[in-house]
Amino acid sequence: MPAERRRRKADKTTPVSPEARSRDARARELLASAEALEAAGKPPAQPGVAGYDLRVRVRDGETPVFGPGRLTLLRAIEATGSISAAARRMGMSYRRAWLLVEAMNHEFREPLVTRHIGGVSGGGAALTPFAQNLAAHYDTLINEIRLLLDAHVPTFDAYLKGDRTGIPDDEPPRVR
């Protein structure tokens, strides 16, 4: 059976629950909020001026293990001292945040978040020095990539409709 027919058949036989639709919509919202937080660090784009979107995800094989969304969660945990407060701040369920923290703790050679349960102060969570180091390296990577992209944006400005001056006629630079 062709793949397209299998998909149509699966779509007809597998009803999508309202909870699954809600989870998918929520995941899209979370990604959008992470992108908005990342974009907040750069000036707003102007029409007729070239710009770029940058989203770097670190993978282990085919499995994404770290990126802007997980970094945002870690920063929220660091700011609030709590997984549940970080989840509320991001508009995500505690379960989703907890599962992401568990996944990160298992995907890296050292845990990223430590938790302490209950007690007089009510428990909490903190980033490990390993997580702080990972976040700093990720930030450095993003900043270096942005510097490289910023250096090339004027070339693309020249190709946009509004600007007829300075269109490069030479060959593009060769990648080494």
Listed by start position, the domains of the chain span 50-154
Q: What fold characterizes domain 50-154?
A: Arc Repressor Mutant, subunit A (1.10.10)
Please tell me the total number of residues recorded for the chain in this structure. 176
DSSP designation for 82: -
pLDDT tens, the chain, 176 aa long: 455 544 454 455 555 566 656 655 665 565 555 555 555 555 666 666 777 888 899 999 999 899 999 999 999 999 999 999 999 999 999 999 999 999 999 999 999 999 988 767 677 999 999 999 999 999 999 999 999 988 888 888 777 766 555 555 556 666 66
Distance in Å from the first CA to the final CA of the chain: 45
pTM exceeds cut of 0.75: no
Residue 126: name the closest of 95, 72, 80 by CA: 80
Rounded to whole angstroms, the Cα distance separating 42 from 143 reads 11
